[in-house]
A and B are shown apart, each in its own frame.
Chain A
Amino acid sequence: MDKAILLVEDNPDDEALTLRALKKNNIRNEVVIAHDGAEALDYLFGTGQYIGRNTDVLPQVVLLDLKLPKVEGLEVLRRVRADKRTKLLPVVILTSSNEEQDRIDGYGLGANSYVRKPVDFTQFMEAARQLGLYWLILNEPPPSRRS
């Protein structure tokens, strides 16, 4: 079975549009939605509402927005990279911002990609297609912890 995609997105419109874009591109993987940074961390580390979740099962890729309630996207990334369970997890920053500082910080904290969400939905769909192609099909994920 295909691994899940963790989409960390607080804006319901963006969530719907992202899901639509993935669906339109025939990406059938399960998409787990976290509506803020804390929820994303709970999912990854099996805490809070995800207590008891098997944390050995990691998503194929995390699509991470930067501006998030509770815990900011960059902080989520920092904690993911700091934890040995998740430090190799592919994280793609998917955000509205084109601020240079965000890109520097994102890559500095170990993001695997930085994708800016375009206003033009046609372009957004193209971005989603390429993301899916690359991270779900072409890219070989890091070996799982157990192996």
Chain B
Amino acid sequence: MLSVSDHSITKKLTRMNMLVSGAALCIACVAFVAYDLVSFRQAMVYNLSIQAQMAGANSVSPLLFNDPQAAENTLSALKAAPSVISAGIYTLDGRPFATYWRDRNGQDQTLPKVPASQTEAHWFKDGQLVLVRTIVFEGKPTGTVYIRSDLREMTHRLKRYAGIAAIVLAASLIAALLIASIFQRAVAEPIVHLAEIARIVSREKNYGMRATPTGKRDEPDILIGAFNEMLGQIQERDGALQQAHDELEQRVEERTAQLATANKELEAFSYSVSHDLRAPLRSIDGFSLALLEDYADRLDEEGKVHLQRIRAATQRMGMLIDDLLNLSRMTRAEIRKETVNLSSLARSVAEGLQEAQLERRIDFRIEDRLEANADPRLVRVVLENLLGNACKFTSKRSSACIEFGKARQNGNSAYFVRDNGAGFDPAYANRLFGAFQRLHGATEFPGTGIGLATVQRIIHRHGGQIWAEGAVEKGATFYFNL
């Protein structure tokens, strides 16, 4: 992670200040020096041309009287100007007439030829200024004067300028540093403070923190105000959320408690039904049998039939109670899902069914490798009911065929149990899964009408669906998914 201090706004501001003031000063210095250089050069040319004119004017008579010695004497006055390296007078036809050398021991002691076209000119060359002027007497050219000067003075001046510029630059940078430290207080400090608060808030999730406003109504102050406001909103929202959460939790707790109470009551009810409701039935059945056994000689045939009917009814009621209890148990049972091998489960159920009806030959066709994520005990109840029903409703077929497999139905895959039994009227298909709903008379096929209701409840508790297809005497297919 980058440390904040490396990129801190304070440093950036300081650097910016220094750069701006440094750049401004540099540009100003360059402009000044350039301007000064140009004007200095102009002044040099002007001064040199005055000296040239004076030398020329004083050389008119030596030229007229052909007196080079006098001309050289005149030129030697240039000693007063230390920058003049050499000077010379040329006759009208371009012959050197008189010369002046600042340093007599210089190597090249001959004057250069002055081109005829450049008799009224000056030029800078090799760090030297050369100036040529025509000597005019009474309106007529009499000769040419030539002066060569070095730029020593200008170099000095430049060096001085550079020194001054450096000192000024250093002084202004120090000043900029001081100003920046003052600005820092005004601009950077609130932002640094804001950044610090934001960091603490995001790290500690403490939305109760607030940044201190500067009170100066400037942008950082607005920023701090907006930041504080946002923190306030977050805090408010957090509070509302927490409250909603608490309320929800409380409501869930209440509902859970209500549900637990209801469940407990239901359990107590079931327990009581399981124990108490069956006891009188046992008495009715038991004493009916006692009557049949002990008082057979005093009962006529009709009396015996009545007692038989009483016994059959009590046994049927016993079955109903058992099935109802089973249904309620399936509703209450906790679902523990795991991978269930449906094929082997179906096979074991089928074996049990076949063993119970050895006199029948049932052709079970069970698809291999069917698996589901479900509660194995409850799925067993489903298969027991569906396969058991299939057995029951094929009991009048000479060759019963019961299939269990997986198929695609309406784009979804579903398990199915198919038989070639009595089937049902599709018009009543929606009544198949209701408790105590039967589509066949008890004499035709026995049953309590609770089995499919139990199956549906188990399937629903697994989040699945169950539906059936069939036709009278054309068999039935029950589809389900888990």
Q: Which of A66, A117, A119, A124 has the most CB of B within 10 A?
A: A119
Taking a contact as CB atoms under 8 Å apart, the answer to whether A13 and B270 are in contact is: no
Inter-chain contacts of A100 with B (CB < 8 A): 329
Taking a contact as CB atoms under 8 Å apart, the answer to whether B275 and A97 are in contact is: yes
Taking a contact as CB atoms under 8 Å apart, the answer to whether A120 and B274 are in contact is: no
Taking a contact as CB atoms under 8 Å apart, the answer to whether B322 and A98 are in contact is: yes
Interface membership of chain B positions 299-332, coded 1 if the CB is closer than 8 angstroms to chain A and 0 otherwise: 0000000000001001101100010010001000
Residue B285, interface by CB 8 Å: yes
Residue of B nearest to A66 (CB): B275
Give the contacts of A62-94 with B (CB-CB under 8 A). Answer: 66-67
Taking a contact as CB atoms under 8 Å apart, the answer to whether B275 and A120 are in contact is: no
Taking a contact as CB atoms under 8 Å apart, the answer to whether B286 and A96 are in contact is: no
Give the contacts of B131-155 with A (CB-CB under 8 A). Answer: none
Taking a contact as CB atoms under 8 Å apart, the answer to whether B275 and A95 are in contact is: yes
Inter-chain contacts of A95 with B (CB < 8 A): 275
In whole angstroms, how far apart are the Cα atoms of A97 and B325 in the complex?
Answer: 10
Inter-chain contacts of B182 with A (CB < 8 A): none
Taking a contact as CB atoms under 8 Å apart, the answer to whether A122 and B289 are in contact is: yes
In whole angstroms, how far apart are the Cα atoms of A96 and B282 in the complex?
Answer: 9
Taking a contact as CB atoms under 8 Å apart, the answer to whether B285 and A67 are in contact is: no
Known contacts A20-B290, A121-B289: does B274 contact A98 (CB below 8 Å)? yes
Residue of A nearest to B321 (CB): A119
Tell me the smallest distance from the CB of B461 to a CB of chain A, in Å: 17
Partner of A121, one of B270, B276, B286, B317: B286
In whole angstroms, how far apart are the Cα atoms of A65 and B275 in the complex?
Answer: 10
Residue B357, interface by CB 8 Å: no
Taking a contact as CB atoms under 8 Å apart, the answer to whether A17 and B283 are in contact is: yes
Residue A2, interface by CB 8 Å: no
| Interface size class, chain B | 20 to 34
Tell me the smallest distance from the CB of B332 to a CB of chain A, in Å: 11
Taking a contact as CB atoms under 8 Å apart, the answer to whether A121 and B322 are in contact is: no
Tell me the smallest distance from the CB of A115 to a CB of chain B, in Å: 13
Residue of A nearest to B325 (CB): A98
Inter-chain contacts of B286 with A (CB < 8 A): 13, 16-17, 20, 121, 124
Residue B281, interface by CB 8 Å: yes
Taking a contact as CB atoms under 8 Å apart, the answer to whether A119 and B271 are in contact is: no
In whole angstroms, how far apart are the Cα atoms of A119 and B314 in the complex?
Answer: 8
In whole angstroms, how far apart are the Cα atoms of A14 and B282 in the complex?
Answer: 8
In whole angstroms, how far apart are the Cα atoms of A66 and B317 in the complex?
Answer: 22
Interface membership of chain A positions 11-49, coded 1 if the CB is closer than 8 angstroms to chain B and 0 otherwise: 101101100100000000000000000000000000000
Known contacts A67-B275, A119-B318: does B270 contact A99 (CB below 8 Å)? yes
Inter-chain contacts of A14 with B (CB < 8 A): 279, 282-283
Tell me the smallest distance from the CB of B217 to a CB of chain A, in Å: 75
Tell me the smallest distance from the CB of A137 to a CB of chain B, in Å: 24
Tell me the smallest distance from the CB of B101 to a CB of chain A, in Å: 133
Inter-chain contacts of B275 with A (CB < 8 A): 66-67, 95-97
Taking a contact as CB atoms under 8 Å apart, the answer to whether B290 and A97 are in contact is: no
Residue of B nearest to A13 (CB): B283
Give the contacts of A93-147 with B (CB-CB under 8 A). Answer: 95-100, 117-122, 124
In whole angstroms, how far apart are the Cα atoms of A13 and B38 in the complex?
Answer: 138
Residue B406, interface by CB 8 Å: no
Residue B41, interface by CB 8 Å: no
Residue B278, interface by CB 8 Å: yes
In whole angstroms, how far apart are the Cα atoms of A83 and B318 in the complex?
Answer: 38
Residue of B nearest to A18 (CB): B286
Taking a contact as CB atoms under 8 Å apart, the answer to whether B270 and A96 are in contact is: no
Known contacts A67-B275, A119-B315, A120-B318: does B282 contact A13 (CB below 8 Å)? yes
Taking a contact as CB atoms under 8 Å apart, the answer to whether B271 and A99 are in contact is: yes
Residue of A nearest to B315 (CB): A120
In whole angstroms, how far apart are the Cα atoms of A95 and B314 in the complex?
Answer: 18
Taking a contact as CB atoms under 8 Å apart, the answer to whether A120 and B283 are in contact is: no
In whole angstroms, how far apart are the Cα atoms of A38 and B325 in the complex?
Answer: 30
Known contacts A20-B290, A98-B325: does B276 contact A117 (CB below 8 Å)? no
In whole angstroms, how far apart are the Cα atoms of A119 and B323 in the complex?
Answer: 14
Known contacts A98-B325, A119-B314: does B282 contact A67 (CB below 8 Å)? no
Tell me the smallest distance from the CB of A22 to a CB of chain B, in Å: 13
Tell me the smallest distance from the CB of A44 to a CB of chain B, in Å: 23
Taking a contact as CB atoms under 8 Å apart, the answer to whether A119 and B274 are in contact is: no
Inter-chain contacts of A17 with B (CB < 8 A): 282-283, 286-287
Residue of B nearest to A122 (CB): B289
Inter-chain contacts of B274 with A (CB < 8 A): 96-99
Residues on A lying within 8 angstroms of B by beta carbon are 11, 13-14, 16-17, 20, 66-67, 95-100, 117-122, 124
Given contacts A96-B278, A121-B285, 8 further A-B contacts (CB under 8 A): A13-B286, A17-B287, A95-B275, A99-B274, A100-B329, A117-B278, A119-B278, A121-B288
17 contacts between A and B (CB under 8 A): A13-B279, A13-B283, A14-B279, A17-B282, A17-B283, A17-B287, A20-B286, A96-B276, A96-B278, A96-B279, A100-B329, A117-B282, A119-B315, A120-B311, A120-B318, A122-B289, A124-B286
